[in-house]
Every structure is written in structure tokens, then in C-alpha cells.
Structure 1
């Protein structure tokens, strides 16, 4: 166990060093001007929208620095720029100035445009108290517009909806830390039953069960130790991903790491079957006994290490709350608030685990034959966790057969154990249920062999690899007047597979995606081209779905992060197609 702890700490130290961030830095990160103010534009009818998104709470743009004498090429007439309400900011050099923080959208009525006209706008901003950028220019090309009065369509552009993750990122800019912590603890509790957190239940139950009969206080202490290990790992990995990019998350979910974790859980399961006793040397146990008030040697150290490892199990699941924190950290560089929020989210995820582990100390049977049976069942549960790990690497018929064999073995073992008990209606009930479980496992295995067809094979994905591929396919779709959906996928991403099996094949979703061009980029290998594609769109986790209009504009506010069921996803596609 000491060796496991040492290896894990070395891994985290190495990744931490690569991430190259510091909790001690107080000054904001200074970004290049094109990264500090992300520019976008869109035209609907005779209304042109120019949009800027500031990548940090201290960045702002001056209202009076937008160039009203817009340079125009081609046959075009423009109306007056329509400004949103500014904020009055006290500038050390210029006094009170009307400025825009966070984001700003300017609307310009297009009175007439012909012959591929283009418009150039100039703007200027500052990083509060640090520096001011020189004037910057952006050029946009207009669609042809017939002569008009410039009013009707300008008011018809609906406000772009804010995605859940962007809304949560914006929430972190507030000052009410207690409200942020409570909110993310609650969101963590909602995530406690997601596919990536579920493996932790058999892990923790196995650990508690392996300790023998425990008091409620001891069970609570062990459970809290486990949850703390999980929360610390989850928090550190989140900060690494937000600060250094998704390539580190992908590296930790590589086949080598996942197979290693699977082997570890199989080895641990053998101790539950009595193959060996997992314990520290007697001399070290005695020292720990004195240090831990006669607690069982190595319990807390081993449980904490298992919690650290379990944080790796949960790390591939990207959800809207997690993405909100990652977006905030990536844009603001505020690692302290990001770390506190990630820890709150982790503790919310750990609360059900804490309740399960604490109750286990009271509900587990006393030592005896049944206790041995329970320990063996925990061994099966540890093997189930190993299969979950391997399912990210080798999905398909082989894993389905492995699950079938696991189910047959578990049901058979419990049937044999049940035969040794005294006759009662409970014994009959258990026999019936276990027989059904055995038959179900056999049926599952036969179905995997006889019906290897995957419903996802019918999905009309066009597979791309590079940014050039994406640009080519988007341009091709635009020429056909179609919107585009890009699915960023990886084999190690559990929620990506849920999308493919539970959402994309559903008729109400297919009805809408059939009108779109569906692209998929498999970034499992995490090579240079994959990283370039992910970083081009600031992707911080998977699954992520990007949407492009028939004009080739990415609808960043409608980006989807994390699994979405068929019905709400169909409604989301309606919003995308309406753009």
C-alpha cells in the first residue's frame, strides 16, 4: 500500500509540475488582446451584431473607443450603433468612463448592403490596474440586404441563450462564497449517482466490509477518510485540466492507466476471497496502532489511498457543473475559488458515500458464516469495478460476455450458499430471485453473441480528425444550407457512450439530426492533432457537442457538455435549428 501511495503522489507531482500553475499568484493572467476579448459576429436580416466576450472579470472595453466612423468596403449603408447600458468605471488616468465588463453586444442596422460588402470596427480595452491594449480592428463580411429603414429587423434578434455551464461559470464571479459552496454541494449530490461515481459504492462498501464488525463512529471515520481522498484527487485533477488543458485528463484515462486500475481492483478482490490478507508489516502496524489510538493498523492510510485512486475513476465524467468551474478557472486563473468550488462539488458527490459507509458499520452482520459470504460478495463487486474500467478501453461483445460470466458466477455462488441455509419462505424467495438472475446473465451473454449489431452503426456520422477536416466539412454543409453538429468523443468517456447508445439513436433525436450534418472526432489517442482541435475550441472535458449554423458560425452559447437524455436533447436541437 505504501508503494501505491508513493506512485500516486509521484504521478500527481509530475502532472502538477507540467501544469505549471501556482496558488500563490495574486495578479491576473495577462492575455494577448485576441484572447482577452473573444470576438464574434452574426447577421440576421438587416441587423448586424458584433459581440465581445471578456476572458476574465478584470477585463473591460471602453464604450467611446468603438469607432463610430466604421470603414466600409463595397456598396453599403449603416445605421447608428445601438449600445447596451454601460457601467461607469473610475479610470486612474481618464476619470469616470463608460465601460463594459464580462461581455458586450453592439447592434448595427444595415440600411443596405450589396456586392460582398465588409465592415471594419475598431475597439480598445484594458486589464484593470495592469495595462491597456492598443486599438484593435476586426473586419466582418455582410450578407446582401435590400434598402430598408433599419429599424424593424434590428429589434427582432433574440438574446443568445446562456448554456448551463457558462451560467455556472458566470455565477462564480459573484461575491457570495457561501451561496456558491452550498450550490455546488447540492449539484455534487445530484451527480452522486452518475456512471462515473457509481463504481465508488462497491469500492467503499468492500473497504468497510473488509474491516469486520465496526462501530458507527469507526465506520464514519473510515468513510470520511475515503471521501476526503476522493475529493482531494478530484479537486487537483480539475485544477490541472483547467490550468493546463484536457490532455492531462486524457492521459489519466489512457488504456495503460485504466488497465492498471482494473488489475489493481482484481488484486484487491482476491483478498476478499481469502487468497491473501492485505495488511502492513507487524512492526509498522504496531506504530500505527499507537498513533491511531489502537485502531486497526493501516486502516486509515489504506482507505485514504483508495479514496485517492477512486478520484481517478470519477475524473473522466464531465458535467455542466464541473465544466462551469473549469471554464471559470481557465478564463480567470482564480485557482483558489476554483479549488474551493471543486472541493464543494466533490463533497456533495461524497455525501451519499458517507451515509452508505457509516450505515455499513451498523447494518453489516456479526462475524460468522454470513460475514464470509458478504466479504465474497464484496470481492465480486471489486471485480465489477475492474470491468467498468476495462469497458472504457475494450467496449463491445467481449466485455458483454465478461459481464455475463460475472453475473453467472455471482448468481451461482449465492445459490450454493443459499442451499446451506434452513428452509423458510425467505430461502425460497432468494432461490427464485437468484435463479432469475442466473438466467438473465445467461440470456445477456447469448444476446451479446447472437446480436453483435450496434445501434450506433446506423448513425450517419462523418468522421474527422483535424481542424482542416472540420473546416472542409462545415463549408460543404454550408453550401447545402445545413447546420452541423460536431461530437467530440473518446473511448474512455463513459458519457460519450451513453450519448451514442441512449440519445442519438432515439427517433425524436434522429428526426432532427437527419436534417443536419453530423460530424464526430475521436480524440481517444490524444495526439497532436486531437489536442489542436480541442484547444481551438477551448474544450475542457468530454463529452462536448459543438453546433454550427448554416452560415458556418459556431453557436458557442448552445454548446453541450455532459450527458443529456433524448427528450431534452431533442428540444435543444430545436433551438439550434432555429438559429
Structure 2
């Protein structure tokens, strides 16, 4: 930076070193000299703007200092650390509990270090500020804000000099743009002393600001985990139990009821208590299999998420769901082998181990039949990452799934009254077949055409409603079922049409950016508009919602080749190359390239812009 200033200052001095009437060195008229001076001044502004453009991450606008509550740290004790986060004027960072889910909240992480754990973390409450691009106030930190961390020190930690390392994650925004989320590394030198040595309290002027009522503890960004925190574990596990109970309505779980009927109907037990415990052991066998799934999912961690991002995996899931759908329509049956069904249902053994193994096998064969609900639960548990949590979530889910079996097994005398077939069941299977086809289309569109994902819902509702309500002949001989089918079809079609109306495209159509597309536009002398955005950027979302949906804006820009550049992963090599190529300092940034291939730099947009102002910028490009 200094070299720019050093080179410019002599030039400015050469031009501006005379009286108000003329310059002594050149002797030229004042007006001409002022012209050169203004050029130099303009160059200075351009250079400083360029330098600011390089400040493209949040670390340029945010700094952090740390102080300890004691001069030394005792082994086996705790120590408080205050993090003084300083934010440049005109900027803010999202609070720990940001207003919108897609925003990056402020978080502190202690790096893995033997003998030191983060026992507690306290974040200040944010301040609601109104920004030009947001419809509602945003919860942010401004100026200087203080975070408090409590560290627990192991009594086995070696005494002497040591360092504590951590990371503060922030995202800085101003009233126009958001910079990329960044991590600020902290290295805190400390002196570890024995448990019996004295320590002195320090920095109490800072720690006296600590007021528990004004602080918030870390929360979860996961909706289901947040439900645990806000509604409590009891209500959330009750909801999971009910989900498991509802899984019994899936088409290929219901046949497992017949296996249960055969198994317990052949038992010679007459004592109620013993029969009940056998039924309970049977359900525990089912629950064991699901609990193992939960533990595997938790230990797998982010693997589920990364696998599901692969088009090949998405396509495979779509194919499996489609195969299940065809089974629901009777093209073939997916069920336990006959030899196994006959053995389980025909056994006369009364041992608890045999009953448990029977439940385990039933659980194994029932698992693939529940499809998307289990996939969704696996993904949630994988994100949580706790094996114990995964075990109890799936154990509870399995208890809900197995509850009817507990009732059937206990009251074995009533088992003969349970219907094993019927036209109404065929129609219900067809409903689930349509749902599975919709799910298959959803995953298939994610793999090959993500833009069509939202079309799947109305398409499934309309096509499924027509088929199930007016074409499917299952149960038409029964007047009541016929009326239910007709009503179902009408409601499904109406819902699909309503959903389709909300998807009617009112905004711009965009293509993903590529060098080839840009080169082609230049060759064909087509003007180009490029929108640089990120998922964590509020002004970007407001542009999409307010400006890019405006009919005048859509019509005025229809002759442009419109492309979007995703800078969500701001520091990736691809993003960095594009940022340098187009000199992008933050998002959103919108630039225009004329038909002759030159950028209309005077019309470059940084930050949110309302439709009226955008049209004014566009006119400059077209002139």
C-alpha cells in the first residue's frame, strides 16, 4: 500500500506547488494544471478503491483480542476468557442467534487440545438494526462486543508455559454488501501451575461486565435439534414415536403384521404377563436393528451429506424409490422369503431369545420399506454426530413402529380379526406408490435438473390425484370408498394447481456462469449481465426477491445474457480466480459487459439496489 502513496505524492506535488493563479513549475495556465491534478486525484481514488476491493473477507473489518481472568491457571480448575470483538464503524457481524437460518452466526470454537475443554460459552444478545435491503430488523453485533468462555483444565495437565488455541467465526456486512465468512485464529499464551499455588484475579474491569441475564448460550442450527432445545426432549421424542407409529401405514410394513399374527397365534402361552413380555421382547428386537442404524449414521458423520450431493447417489436413490413404487402397484412383491416367513410364523418355541431374533429379522426386512422417512432421520442423526443420540432417536422411532405389534402380540386372541387384505388396502398401497414416484422424481431432478425440483410437487399432486381419484378402479364397487377416492382426487388436483400457480415464473431466468458462455456472447455481440451472489448474503436474497422479480426489470434486461456466479464458498480456488478476474470485493455485485466486450464500469452495482435505481443503471449501459 505504501508504494502506491509514495509514487503518487511526488506527482501531486509536481502539479500542485504554485499560487492559486498558476503553478510555478510548469508555468501552464491554472485550468490545465487543475486538469492534471484532478487526474492524479482520480487515480488515487481508483487505487484506494482497488485496495479496498482486495479486502474481501470479514477479517478485514473485524479484529479480536483476548484477556484472562487470572494471571495463572491452576490444574484441575477453571479459567474465564473474555474475547473482545472489535468491528469497524459502518460494519456489523451477525449475532450468535442470527435472524435468518441462512445467515452465518458468530461462534467460538476451542481447538482440540489435551487437558483443556470448553466448559461453557456465553454470547451477548445482539442488537436489532434496520438495513436498506431487509424487510425486518437484523440481529447483529456492532462496535465492540465481548464474548465469555469458561475453560476446564485437567488436573493431569503438565505445569509450565502453554498455549490455548481457538477460532472465532464471523461474517461482516454493511448496509450494502456482505463479505465472505471468515475465521479469526486466536493463540493465547498461558502459564499452568499446580493446584495448590496461588493465582491473582486480573482484568476484572472487563469481567465485571458479565451479566448472565444479558447473555445467551450456544443454540443449534438444526431444526430438529432446536426442537429439543425449545420444546424439550419429552415432546420431541413423543413426536418421533408418533412418526414411527405412522410408518405402519407404509405399504410393505403392513404385511409384517401377518408375520406377527402367525408367530404369536401359534404360541401356547396363556399367562398374560408372560405373553406381554414376549411381545415386548419381540418389539425390542425390531428396535435393536433401528438403533444400530442410528449409531452407524452418527458415527458416519458428514458422510451422509457428502454422499447425497453426488448425482450418482441421488440417481441410485431415485431408482430404488421407483422400484418400491412399482412394487406398490403390484408389478412384483418385496417381502421376506417364504422359508423364513414360514419358520418365524410356524415356530412353537417359547424361548425369549427366539422371539427376540424373530423381531430382529422382522426389523431388518421392514427397514427398506419405510423409504424417505428413515433416510431423513439418518441424515439428521448424522449431522448431530452423537452415537448415543442416534441410538435413542432410532430406538424411539422403532418403539413407535413396533407399538401395534406389542398390542397384537399381547392380545393374541384378537389377531384373527385383523384384515390381511381388501380393496381398500390395495388403494392405500397405490397412494404410497404415487408418493414414492414423487420422491423418486424429486431425487432424479436433484441429480440431473435441480431447477425442476419444485415442479415435482404440483406434478405429483395433479397426476396422482387424477389417477387415484378417477382412474384407479380399486374399491370402486364400494360406494363409500368410491366417494372418498373422488374427494381425494379433487383435493389433490386442486392442491397441485394452486401450488403450480405459485411457481409461475415472474422473475428473471439465469444461466450459471462459464467462460465459454461469456466468450460466445462476445462473439455474437450480445450484452452480458453477471450477478455474483452467495447463499449467506442477505442483500443477494433481497435482489432475488424484489429486484429480479420486477416486471420492468425483467423486460428491460431481456436482451442480455444473464448469468449468475455462486461465491458461497468464497475462498475456494474457483471463487478466488473469478473474484480476481472481475475484481469482486463482496456480494452482491452485478456487472454489465457491453456488446463490444467492454465492461460498463460506471454501471457496476455493489449491494442491494431497488428496481427503479437498477433501471437507471441499465439505461447507462444501453446508451
Per the shorter chain, which TM-score range? Answer: 0.3 to 0.5
TM-score relative to the length of structure 2 = 0.42
**Which fold has the larger relative contact order, with Cα–Cα distance below 8 Å and residues 6 or more apart in sequence?**
1
Q: Over alpha carbons, which structure has the higher Rg? A: 2
